[in-house]
Amino acid sequence: MSVTTTSQPGSYHHGNLRVALIDAGVELAREGGPDAVVLREASRRAGVSHNAAYRHFADRDSLLAAVCGRCMSALARLMEKRIAQAAPASDDGLKGARRRLRATGTAYVEFALTEPGWFRTAFAVPAELHYLAGDEGLGESGLGPLELLGAQLDAVVKAGGLPPKRRPGAEFTAWSAVHGLAMLLIDGPLRELPQPERDAALEHLLDTITRGL
């Protein structure tokens, strides 16, 4: 997350302005969500005049889209991490698969609660630019959050924990559930819910989905 500069300080050309602007934008998003990703402030933080950004981004939405991709990647990486921690990769039994599936959901909500600015930004992709270029929004495995969830569901099916007939569409339902809970908790009417009840709501939700799938 550090700003990397390849040119000398004080030189006319920045040398790495594009990524420096995205870095600054990511920091702004962390502090204040998508609305805080602002061209002038990002330029300021990159140590550059307010118009230099236009050499690298068509407009503010273009920068925001890049920042959104970074945030989505951060979500994917936390999910990968928690999935790996949930059970050793060698454990390909049903128990391990279920643990990993559950970890996928908890990681999603954990990310939303610990980095609400990033979480909100991850889903604030400007309407016209929702094709994130190339590897935008992916984790280290090359999978995005939805693919990671799908992979865990596939594993549960493979381990016999879910009839294959039930598999199609399951990721949308599971995703919707955790996404909705996250939104309601960070921005929505549940934002005042005390911590124990938040945990209970998440457990209840995961139990219900697991049973219902």
DSSP labels, 68-109: HHHHHHHHHHHHHHHHHHHS-TT--SHHHHHHHHHHHHHHHH
Residues in region 32-71 near a second copy by CB under 8 A: 35
208 binds a second copy (CB under 8 A): yes
Spatial contact of 19 and 1, defined as CB atoms under 8 Å apart:
no
59 binds DNA (CB under 7 A): yes
Neighbours of 79 (CB within 10 A): 26
Query: Which secondary-structure segment (H or E) carries 196?
Result: helix 195-212
Residues in region 155-184 near a second copy by CB under 8 A: 169-170, 172-173, 175-184
Residue type, 126: P
Q: What span, in angstroms and rounded, lies between the C-alpha atoms of 86 and 103?
A: 6
Among 45, 60, 99, 179, binds DNA (CB under 7 A): 60
Residues in region 24-53 near DNA by CB under 7 A: 38-41, 48-52
Q: Which residues bind a second copy (CB under 8 A)?
A: 35, 123-124, 127, 130, 146, 169-170, 172-173, 175-184, 187-192, 200-201, 204-205, 207-213
Q: Which residues bind DNA (CB under 7 A)?
A: 7, 11-15, 17, 38-41, 48-52, 54-56, 59-61
